C-alpha cells in the first residue's frame, strides 16, 4: 500500500457553519464523502491483506508450490512497509490526541 497514492481520496476541509455535520453524505456534487473512520478502516484492512498475502507467499515458497523467491520477498517487504507506515500514522494520531488534551480552554 503506497500511502501517497491515497492522497487523492482526501477531500478539502470545508469551513464550519455550513449546516452539515462532519462525515455526512451530500458533500460536493452530491457525492458521499468517506469519513475519517472509514479511511482508517480501509487502510487497516489493506495492511491486513498485505500481511495475509505475505504469509501465503512465504508458505508457498516453503512448500514449493510454484512461488518464486523474488515475489515472496517482495510481498514480505511490502507488508513490512505497510505495517511500519500504519504504526507511524498511529503514533502521530496518538501524539495529536495528547496535544489536544493538553490544551487549556
Q: Is 72 a domain residue? A: yes
| 6-48 confidence digits (pLDDT tens) | 555 556 556 555 555 555 555 555 578 889 889 989 999 999 9
- The pTM of the full predicted model, rounded to 2 decimals, is 0.63
Q: Is 21 a domain residue? A: no
CB atoms within 10 A of CB 102: 7
Q: Is 4 a domain residue? A: no
Q: Is 8 a domain residue? A: no
Domain that holds residue 52: 36-105
* Element of type H or E holding 94: helix 69-102
The SS3 call for residue 27 is coil
Q: Number of structural domains, the chain?
A: 1
Q: Is 10 a domain residue? A: no
Q: Is 58 a domain residue? A: yes
Q: Is 22 a domain residue? A: no
Predicted pLDDT of residue 17: 53
| 58-97 confidence digits (pLDDT tens) | 999 899 887 788 999 999 999 999 999 999 999 999 999 9
Residue given cell 490544551 in the structure block: 103
Predicted pLDDT of residue 12: 58
The SS3 call for residue 51 is helix
Q: Is 101 a domain residue? A: yes
Amino acid at each position: 500500500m503506497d500511502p501517497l497514492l491515497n492522497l487523492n481520496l482526501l477531500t478539502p476541509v470545508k469551513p464550519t457553519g455550513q449546516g452539515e455535520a462532519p462525515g455526512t453524505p451530500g458533500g460536493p456534487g452530491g457525492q458521499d464523502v468517506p469519513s475519517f473512520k472509514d479511511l482508517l478502516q480501509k487502510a487497516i484492512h489493506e495492511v491486513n491483506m498485505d500481511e495475509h498475502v505475505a504469509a501465503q507467499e512465504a508458505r508457498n515458497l516453503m512448500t514449493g508450490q510454484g512461488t518464486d523467491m523474488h515475489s515472496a520477498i517482495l510481498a514480505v517487504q511490502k507488508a513490512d512497509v505497510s505495517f511500519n507506515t500504519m504504526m507511524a500514522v498511529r503514533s502521530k494520531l496518538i501524539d495529536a490526541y495528547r496535544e489536544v488534551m493538553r490544551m487549556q480552554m
